[in-house]
Amino acid sequence: MVKKLSVAILCSLMAAITMTAGPTSAAPGDTIAEATTVEEIVRSSDYSAQAHAPVLRLYQAFFGREPDVNGAKYWLGVSESGWSLDDIAGFFSAGDEFANNYADKNDFQYLEAVYENVLGRDYDQRGFDYWLDLLTEGHLTRGGVVRWISANQEFTRSYPYALRPGQGVTVISARANWSTGYFNAAVTAQLLRELGYNVTDPAQEENPPSWAYRRMAMGELDFWANSWMPLHFDWFDEELPGALTVRDRVIVLGNLLPGAGLEGFVVTKSVAEAHDITSLQQINGDPKLVALFDYDGNGKANVNGCPVDWTCDDIAQAIFDRNGWTNLEQTTASYDGMVAETLARVNDGLPAIQYTWSPSAYLTQLKPGENVLWLSLGGAEFVCDGTDPCQEGWDWADLGPAPLGDTCTEADCYIGWSWADIKITANKNFIAENPAAAQLFRNMVIPVQAAVEASERYNNGENSEDDVKAIAAEWIAANRQLVDYWVQDAARAAGF
């Protein structure tokens, strides 16, 4: 919403101007005159973002396009010759192009078109009513509306025409190959763009952890906003050419979703209650319970686990192996397919065990405490302790029970995994060369609930790439004050 100006000020600023010929343009500064593109103008030493950017934005707002380099020089010269923004707006609004675009519209239709053409969105009712009142009461001309909308924060953020720390830098982004990670990646990419970076669409590079860390280390990707730490640290020991490891080439920054990662198994609630099931240890040791969950008839209890290119499948198998749980068999297949099978069985009141995690929209279907329960391992002694077959990084022996209350099969609920923080990992060289991006990554903290709600909307049908970007943009808009701090602090870190 634009900061409201008094009617008296608006009237004095917007005296009607009718021009029959183009205004005189003063000679621009030498470095502006030598520029061959608008970007070079913005980079030139004679350019002032405070004085010149509003002129370029005004052109963009009126005509829906950036001026060519000669046009930009001309209108900057007009401004230098003494024409105010209101004078220039009056000239633009008197021209044929403006008239052809808007002449056949009443004030209501005109404002609808301005929102679409200038701001690129549908109107918000409060802002629309504000501008309509000024227009219909004669306090602003139609050109005046565009002039002042071009000065609002929403428009200036989209068209800064100022040097920004990411100017001229292309960032190769990526996202996880699980849909609950799409939101994180979209928010991070959009905020990098606010710093001036040219960021590739994360959807073009969908990577599992087994690819993402190596590709970042090799310089093929710049960052990945889906690192579950410390669980993903095992990928850091992968060897690279030159006697290096992934750890030598990547760095983890900030805490994007602190304490967000919760992993473990859930079991059909009605079945667990009917058979007094308390733990995986109990199921493995009771032939009747093994038979209950053996719905493929191979003599082992079925456990729907993880796809093989994630990490959780290895951890689950290590838990089974270290505890001698030979009567349990993990299925590793398409995760969505396994969840669909589990959900169908749960809804029918049939035995099912499924690996899942939070934040996850899957938990809006498999609902702990309602249709499923978290399934405890059976005690602290069954948790990985960093010794074979558990890897060194999987040492959670000292971790207490998860505070899950009556949503778990046991009061002391040992679900087998540590709490995980979801963080951003990036290529070290990229971070060294881009202090603004590094500071942004350190600053960003997204509430877990925002990620859960985004995932739920995705699962409920808002699952196109445009939807993912829109949900991220909505969250940014709703948290603008906080986000502005992140971005401005990041810019300061780079000397802007």
Which whole number is the average pLDDT over 404-416? 89
pLDDT digit string (tens) for 137-151? 999 999 899 999 999
Question: Quick check: 1 pLDDT over 80?
Answer: no
Residue-level pLDDT at 18: 35
Q: Determine the 3-state secondary structure of 356 from DSSP.
A: strand
CA atoms within 13 A on the CB side of 20: 0
Distances (CA, A) of 112 to 105, 131, 140: 10, 11, 16
Contact 264, 416 (CB under 8 A): yes
Which whole number is the average pLDDT over 376-393? 88
Nearest to 181 by CA among 212, 214, 219, 221: 212
Question: Quick check: 6 pLDDT over 70?
Answer: no
Which whole number is the average pLDDT over 370-388? 91
Residue-level pLDDT at 259: 67
CA atoms within 13 A on the CB side of 172: 14
Contact 216, 245 (CB under 8 A): no
Tokens found for residue 279: 């733990």
Tokens found for residue 455: 């995932």
Residue-level pLDDT at 7: 40
Residue-level pLDDT at 21: 55
pLDDT digit string (tens) for 66-96? 999 999 999 999 999 999 999 999 999 899 9
Q: How far apart are CA 476 and CA 491, in angstroms?
A: 17
pLDDT averaged over every residue in the chain:
89
Question: Quick check: 60 pLDDT over 60?
Answer: yes
User: Could you give all domains of the chain from N- to C-terminal order, each with its CATH number?
Assistant: 7-158 (1.10.3130), 170-259+422-493 (3.40.190.10), 261-419 (3.40.190.100)
Which whole number is the average pLDDT over 56-72? 92
pLDDT digit string (tens) for 457-470? 998 899 999 999 99
pLDDT digit string (tens) for 423-453? 999 999 999 999 999 999 999 999 877 888 8
Question: What is the enclosing helix (H) or strand (E) of 214?
Answer: helix 209-217
Q: How far apart are CA 93 and CA 299, in angstroms?
A: 80
Residue-level pLDDT at 4: 46
Task: Provide, rounded to the nearest whole percent, the portion of the chain with pLDDT above 70.
Answer: 95
